[in-house]
Structure 1
Amino acid sequence: MSIIVQYASNVWTKFWAPSFWLPPNITWSDFKDTETVVYPKFQEICYPVAYSILVVFIRLIIERYIFLPWGVSKGLKPTKKKIIQNVLLEETYLKNAGSLSHHQVIGLAKQLDWNIKQVQRWICYRKQQNKPSALVKLTESGWRFTYYSFAVCYGIWALWDKPWFWNIDECWTDYPHQTVSWDIRLYYVFQLSCYWSMLFSQFVDVKRKDFLEMFIHHLTTILLIIFSYTCNLIRGGSLVLIIHDFSDVFMEAAKMFKYIKWQRGCDVCFGLFFIVWTVTRLIIFPGYLIKNFWLTAPNFMPMFPAYNGLKYLVVVLFLLHIMWTYFILKILQRAVLSGKTEKDSRSSSSEASATEENSDNPASSVRLRK
């Protein structure tokens, strides 16, 4: 037992080696508060794991008592349309995992003395039973809209009077002896608590096509927050956090408008989303933040392993942005083609099951009008 304890103690000591986490010639003893400098404490960044439970509780309240009644008032149904129970159709549907050929549909129609459209309609409704309703999607988007809106507003308020918000080179001035004010501490704790809750809830929320990418994004962001807080690289980390929240506000708003079938609101919000996404994540983030982290920071301070890890984490985020941009452009291309034919991609029931996979993205329903 003593050998295990000793081994664990050695691993813990090596893990917290100042040579990894801090610049050369700096030790943890240098991270003691003074009259002018208040340093971050690692234990403070552990609390958000527990706080994430409170975030989930707040989310449930917001979804149930704000966005659920709003969705119902807009005509969304809390329950799905019931289908006729049919043993033969159910067995065939489960056996083929919902993918029935035209030949099988004809055969079923003959056996049941139904017409082909009745069988196709049953299959379409049966597929919808396995998918979350628009009301459920609305409540989830409503919660995320609330979170991102608050994060943006608080982030701007907390960072507005900070010199590094206006001059990024201030992120490295006097590093690592930079004080951390209470409002920035709260901003970090709030963001990390929400990201922990999103990481956990992702496994029970509506399944998205980009589940893996979002999991990587959440995990990367959590590591970035923890690393930057531990190393007192909070100034640069706070800029990365706020730059990522702006576009999501418009994205979630566009989704909500889509679910309540307000097409004009959806189009406007998605247009704003695409503009803000392009400016913040494809221009400012790589051309301003990443460039400064990689090229300018070494002129102000010596490099160390933990900082190098942070540099690669922000690159991972940017690669995810490029991938999502590709998907967005593909959806916009489909919207343009749909507009040329003057046809809404959601217009026919026969297409409903084929287009449902993309329905979470409001761009999939954008129509161009003459």
Structure 2
Amino acid sequence: MNNTWAREWLPSFVVPFVSLSYPTDTPSQPDSFPNSTYYNDGLLDACFVVTCIAVFAILRDITRLWFAEPFARWHLTRQLRKSKTRKNSVNGKGGLETPPKGEKTPLLPPNITKAEERILQRNVQRFAEQSWSVVYYTVQWGFGLYVNHNLPTSIFDMKYLWINYPHIPLAGPVKFYYLTQTAFYTHQILILNAEARRKDHWQMMLHHVITVPLMVVSYSYYWTRVGCLIMVLMDWCDIWLPAAKMLKYLSFSTLCDAAFTFFMLSWLVTRHIIFVMVINSAIYDSKAILPYGWDPARGYYFTRGVYIACVGMLVALQLIQIVWFWMICRVAYKVISGQGAEDTRSDDEM
């Protein structure tokens, strides 16, 4: 995260794209990350975000094309061959023919129908799409947990989200966490418009369009501690929904239902209990602890307008999540009634 190494062997215009910008002196008595390099913020941070977007695009394709798709194709083809073998045995056809010695076993049964091939290809593609989400959110949630663990904040006493504001300069891990998350959600907006539209396309687009400005504003105005807490809360659920979908596409129905149930409970706790506690703290604790003021020289940005805008965006996110939770409850009803889990939010194209 230190850009000293980059300056030694890269052209100056490249440095902001591959390292964190605006290094500064470590505070004399930092309340977090005492051994980290500290940074200010600025427009050059956008260069690092652009690089992260490109890296995420590459990693997404590597995850999908090199790992997820080959595995899903192998597993689903194996399942289809077994199914065909059992079906032929029941019908007295003796199963699949064994290929002559020296020839490879065909990837697909010779009597596969076009409909079966279409379903197989669809499941392979969807499995691969969800795999990147599981990989990213698992890694980023773990890193976010590390960041929040080292900050002097707690979900049990949220006034520490606001005490000692403004929280500048930023520790390297905090800045890296914020910029990579901003890059990811910006990348998600691009992906939403590149892939086939799902049932909840506009809800997802609205969610990301609110999230990205909220992250930029909280980063620029140094509301980073509440931002770090919100991001780690959001990421936890986003591991389990794509994991449930992946299990569904591999035809592991029981495991899919179990993963979806865990996802639903996690969503309720993180996004409708703890997140509401965060909103409550933003509404009441921030005003009780911080006086209104605008002093860019010392990084103090807490006016009535900023307060209303940030709280408003948090409430808007909660309203979107309430709509989604209603959809999740519909899926839960299907699980309880024995129909199996199917995500009505985004599983089918429009």
Alignment of 1:11-22 (within 5 A): none
Deviation at 1:230, TM superposition (A): 0.5
1:212-238: CA deviation from partner (whole Å, max 9, x where unpaired)? 000011111101110001101111111
Which of 281, 286, 290 pairs up with 1:297? 286
What is the number of residues matched between the two proteins? 271
Q: TM-score, normalised by structure 2?
A: 0.70
Q: Partners in 2 of 1:35 and 1:52 — Cα distance? A: 29
Deviation at 1:185, TM superposition (A): 0.5
Deviation at 1:336, TM superposition (A): 3.6
Alignment of 1:159-198 (within 5 A): 159-165=148-154, 167-198=157-188
| Counterpart code for 1:277 | W
| Structure 1 vs Structure 2 CA RMSD | 3.0
Q: TM-score, normalised by structure 1?
A: 0.67
1:58 aligned onto 2:59: yes
Identity %: 23
Deviation at 1:319, TM superposition (A): 0.4
Match of 1:360 in 2: 347
Structure 1 residue ranges (4+ consecutive) displaced by more than 3 angstroms after TM superposition: 31-35, 37-40, 128-132, 334-337, 355-359
Secondary structure class of the residue paired with 2:43: helix
CA 1:356–1:66: 2 relative to 1, 3 Å = same
Match of 1:223 in 2: 213
Deviation at 1:165, TM superposition (A): 3.9
Deviation at 1:43, TM superposition (A): 1.8
Extract unaligned runs of 5+ from structure 1: 1-30, 78-121, 347-354, 362-370
Structure number with greater Rg is: 1
Alignment of 1:1-370 (within 5 A): 36=27, 40-47=40-47, 48-75=49-76, 125=115, 133-165=122-154, 167-286=157-276, 288-301=277-290, 302=292, 303-304=302-303, 305-337=305-337, 339=338, 344=339, 360=347
Which structure exhibits the higher relative contact order, with contacts defined as CA atoms closer than 8 Å and separated by 6 or more residues?
1
Deviation at 1:263, TM superposition (A): 1.1
Q: Partners in 1 of 2:131 and 2:321 — Cα distance? A: 23
Structure with the higher fraction of residues in helix conformation: 1
Secondary structure class of the residue paired with 2:139: helix
Query: Conserved in 2, the CA contact under 8 Å of 1:257 and 1:265?
Result: yes
1:78-107: CA deviation from partner (whole Å, max 9, x where unpaired)? xxxxxxxxxxxxxxxxxxxxxxxxxxxxxx
Extract unaligned runs of 5+ from structure 2: 1-21, 31-37, 79-112, 293-301
Q: Partners in 1 of 2:39 and 2:165 — Cα distance? A: 11
Deviation at 1:209, TM superposition (A): 0.3
| Counterpart code for 2:71 | W
Q: Partners in 2 of 1:125 and 1:356 — Cα distance? A: 22
Q: Partners in 2 of 1:232 and 1:278 — Cα distance? A: 28
